[in-house]
Amino acid sequence: MLTTLYNQLDAAYSEMVEIRRHLHMNPEPSFHETNTARYIRDYYEQLGIIVEHGVGGNGVVAKIQGAHPGKTVALRADFDALPIQDQKEDVSYRSTVDGVMHACGHDGHTATLLVLGKTLYNMREELSGTYVLIHQHAEELVPGGAKSMIEAGVLNGVDAIFGTHLWSTTPYGRIDTRVGPIMAAADSFTLKVQGRGGHGASPHETVDAVVTGAQIVSTLQTLVSRRVDPLESAVLSIGSFVAQNPFNIIADQAVLSGTVRTFKEDIRSLMETEMERVIKGITLATNSECDFKFTRGYSAVVNHEQETLFVKDIAQTIPGVTEVYDCPPQMGGEDFAYYLEKIPGSFFFTGAMPEGDVYPHHHPKFDFKEEAMLIAAKTLGTAAIQFNYK
């Protein structure tokens, strides 16, 4: 059965590439993926596969029923793009949409799952159980598409879920995963410091928002080193500090923003509480005011033990896989976390490092080795099929 799966996927590889490149040339940003969703729906409907669209927004869900009774397994792929200008110069499939590109591999995820879905449908007389193919919109932008699709019922009756991310900085042929936290909770914050402006020659008559903001930045950098257990992980990064004044004017207002990354809920709550305490203390001491907003983004992606060990075992048998690596956690965020909060499952990275120059995710020259889509499809397909026999 698995030989049939692999042979059919190999035979459909050129179609997989064609789909990926079409999507790459026609990207749509989060919550605006109407044409992409229609493309996915049409693909399945032309094959005769049962498909729902408009699920939780722009989500699309296809279901394939095997001829024999069994468990229900879900596979997920995201399909939104990013507000980034494509700067690749040497490929024929550059984005044709100004200021929007697939800079994270979601076009490859979609092509992978579409062709895998077609293959599973062709094999349905041999298969046991039900296969739920979740094509999710808006992974890149909080609140994301996973929550709304879950609320719409995509996980009803599902026994387990598996997902992968093509990873451009991981060597081709390697599968990375781990039991427990694999990606971080991704929170954001903004802070508006309100002081009293004035002339740069008379600082004693002002309440300098820049100086207050600078004190806040410096003190916040001590929270991880002095308030978080050194055996735990946390990141606090200030990404923006804006006070737009002429050189000789003391600013009355400064606006700061940044991100906090954690793996555990208690550390996440600690960071929020301690940030608020520090900010209030400094603004009180400097006679300024503040408006602090901490916005919780995606939860941490926490892999279930049984399902992840299962993925690690089957990954070693996949043609093209040269290594299965127990990877360290990544500080990036992913709303696949919400699926794993509801049902058992596992998320893994598929090595897709291209030849030549390598650019990270969300870079304007991002690309990946397309052959990695085959490894992703074979691994996801094997996990889905073999789950009925574990």
**Binding site, annotated residues for Mn(2+):** 104, 106, 140, 165, 362
DSSP string, 290-324: EEEEEEEEEPPEEE-HHHHHHHHHHHTTSTT--EE
Neighbouring residues of 353: CB distance < 8 A, sequence distance ≥ 6: 167, 168, 169, 170, 171, 172, 368, 369
For the question of residue 159 being annotated catalytic, the response is no
Contact assessment for residue 160 and residue 71, using Cβ atoms and an 8 Å cutoff: yes
- Cα–Cα–Cα angle for 378, 380, 381, nearest 5°? 60
State how far the Cα of 389 lies from the Cα of 343, in Å rounded to an integer. Answer: 19
- What single letter denotes the amino acid at residue 346? S
- Which residue out of 28, 78, 86, 139 is catalytically annotated? 139
Element (H, E) at 161: strand 160-167
- Which residue out of 28, 33, 78, 80 is catalytically annotated? 80
State how far the Cα of 331 lies from the Cα of 261, in Å rounded to an integer. Answer: 6
**Binding site, annotated residues:** 104, 106, 140, 165, 362
Please give the C-alpha separations between residue 100 and each of 40, 312, 333, 366, in angstroms, as whole numbers. 19, 35, 20, 13
Instruction: Indicate the length of the chain as a whole number.
Output: 390
For the question of residue 33 being annotated catalytic, the response is no
- Residue whose entry in the numeric block shows the structure tokens 């590109």: 101
Please give the C-alpha separations between residue 178 and each of 182, 303, 310, in angstroms, as whole numbers. 6, 7, 11
Q: At what angle do helices 13-25 and 372-386 cross, to 10 degrees?
A: 110
- What single letter denotes the amino acid at residue 375? I
Residue 315 has φ and ψ, to the nearest 5°, of -60, -30
Q: Which residues are catalytic?
A: 80, 139
